[in-house]
Amino acid sequence: MPMRHDFSENLMSLQSHILLEEAKHPSASGDFTWIVSAISLAAKSISNHVRRARLSGAIGKFGDTNIQGEEQQKLDVIANEALMRCLGTRASVAVLASEEDDEPTILRKGKDGGKYCVLFDPLDGSSNLDTGVGVGTIFSILRNDPNVHSAQATVCQPGVRQVAAGYVLYGSSTIFVITTGNGVALFELDPFIGSFLLVKDQLRVPERNSVYSVNEAYASTFPDGYQRYLAWAHANGYSSRYIGSMVADVHRTLLTGGVFMYPPTKKNPEGKLRYLYEASPMAFIMEQAGGLAYSGDARTLEHQPHKVHERVPVLLGSRGEVEKVREFLR
Ligand code: AHM
Ligand code: MG
């Protein structure tokens, strides 16, 4: 018998996956696929910069602070530029909003073909860069309402209206996780062929896992319920995992279960994480994977934001673990 190579390896690319998803909608024009391909191109470029950062001198502060008073790292600026440039050339993008920019950028109006708004945190967790910890890009895609004229108003939509959301984790490998409202798919960058390849479709977060992820150093300033939950978790054999990089912490929670939280603190009474490009896209992914996500009493996805950089408390993860925390918050 002649030797035969096993070609059963998975060769479904992100691009093909999104094209197949889009084909399920009879009225789809392909514009959406173009947007995801722009994000994927930017992600490959950011991944390269992150991996070579120390060699190319890109580690360190840029010397400026963003609108939120946070010091920008050189790589924050590089990542922002990569997304702006890749998305800026896509004809159907109306508005881009970034954690790094004070105001959203209007590229074109609805009457000129601007169908979508893309919101992103170009490099979340960037303050961890100098220690080689996983960092990530988070994005959310919304429809542009042609009747709304201010950029601020058009992007301030509750998360339930997201057309798609996802993140890219620049960790030991580069991982792309996306939902278009039909489950969650996970891709890994094959650096040799330069494509994100499907690793798992219809990803499900485990129902339970006795692990919590929170910056416990702030616990004495958390609202009472969180403190009582932590005392309960300590008494019940829970383990703790916290990287301090949202994409890495949420990704671990998605794959292995548990609960991730950023509660209100004395320093950040509204919570630290931003609604539109951190909490809302991560909530969409978690719910699509069968988990839960809350900001205060409400589902994160139902929160109505009023400002581009609005912050909210975040509680998300396995259904059973989120429910448990909520018992203490009631
Ligand atoms: P950034 O967007 O400025 O990088 O800040 C967000 C990060 C998240 O990745 C992470 O969950 C959180 O800040 C960690 O905050 P803390 O250091 O207060 O625990
Ligand atoms: Mg961030």
Residue-wise pLDDT tens digits, 29-68: 889 999 999 999 999 999 999 999 888 888 888 777 777 7
In whole angstroms, what is the distance from residue 117 CA to residue 105 CA? 10
Is the pLDDT higher at 84 or at 67?
84
How much distance in Å is there from the Cα of 126 to the middle of ligand 1?
A: 8
Contact 139/117 with Cβ under 8 angstroms?
A: no
- What mean pLDDT comes out for the span 133-162? 94
Atom of ligand 1 nearest to the CA of 128: 4
Q: Tell me which of 301 and 71 has the higher pLDDT.
A: 301
Q: Tens digit of pLDDT for each residue in 246-256? A: 999 999 999 99
- What's the CA-to-centroid distance between 125 and ligand 2, angstroms? 6
Judge contact between 15 and 37, C-beta under 8 A. yes
In the chain, which segments carry CATH 3.30.540.10?
14-200
Ligand nearest to the CA of 125: 1
Q: How far is the CA of 65 from the centre of ligand 2 (A)?
A: 14
- Give the C-alpha separation, 171 to 135, whole Å: 7
The residue whose CB lies within 8 Å of the most ligand 1 atoms, and thus the one to mutate among 124, 138, 278, is 124
Q: What is the pLDDT of residue 286?
A: 98
Instruction: Using the predicted structure, report yes or no on whether residue 5 has a pLDDT greater than 80.
Output: no
- Say how many Å lie between the CA of residue 124 and the centre of ligand 1: 7
Separation CA 299–CA 279 (nearest Å): 11
Question: What pLDDT digit, counting tens, does each position of 100-140 carry?
Answer: 999 999 999 988 999 999 999 999 999 888 898 999 999 99
Question: Which amino acid is it at 146?
Answer: P
Picking from 38, 238, 234, the residue whose alpha carbon sits closest to that of residue 137 is: 38
Work out the mean pLDDT of the chain and round it to a whole number.
94
Give the DSSP per-residue string, 45-76: HHHHHHHTHHHHT--SEEEEE-TTSPEEEHHH
Does the domain at residues 14-200 carry the CATH identifier 3.40.50.80? no
Share of the chain above pLDDT 90, in %: 81
Can you tell me which atom of ligand 1 is nearest the CA of 99?
Answer: 2
pLDDT, position 129 = 87
User: Ligand 1 atom closest to Cα of 265?
Assistant: 18
Task: Assign 9 a pLDDT band (cuts: 50, 70, 90).
Answer: low
Residues with CB under 6 A from ligand 1: 70, 99, 121, 124-127, 215, 244-246, 249, 262, 272
The single-letter code of the amino acid at 257 is G
The CA distance from 92 to 21, in Å, is: 18
User: Is residue 174 over pLDDT 80?
Assistant: yes
pLDDT greater than 70 at residue 94: yes
Average pLDDT over residues 12-18: 95
Euclidean distance between CA atoms 260 and 250, whole angstroms: 7
Helix (H) or strand (E) holding 228: helix 224-235
Is there a contact between 196 and 40 (Cβ–Cβ < 8 Å)? yes
For residue 148, the model assigns a pLDDT of: 82
For residues 68 and 309, is the Cβ–Cβ distance under 8 A? yes
- Please, which pLDDT band fits residue 285 given cuts at 50, 70 and 90? very high
**What is the predicted pLDDT for the residue at 7?**
55
211-329 CATH: 3.40.190.80
What is the whole-number distance in angstroms between the Cα of residue 42 and the centre of ligand 1? 22
**How far is residue 72's CA from residue 306's CA, in Å, rounded to a whole number?**
24
Pairwise CA distance, residues 121 & 137, whole Å: 6
- Residue identifier of the C-alpha nearest atom 7 of ligand 1: 125
Q: Which has the closest alpha carbon to 284: 314, 320, 309, 321?
A: 314
- d(CA 109, CA 207) in angstroms, rounded, equals 43
Give the ligand 1 atom nearest the CA of 244.
14
231 CA → ligand 2 middle, Å: 28
Using pLDDT thresholds of 50, 70 and 90, give the confidence band for residue 1.
low
| Average pLDDT of the segment spanning 192-219 | 97
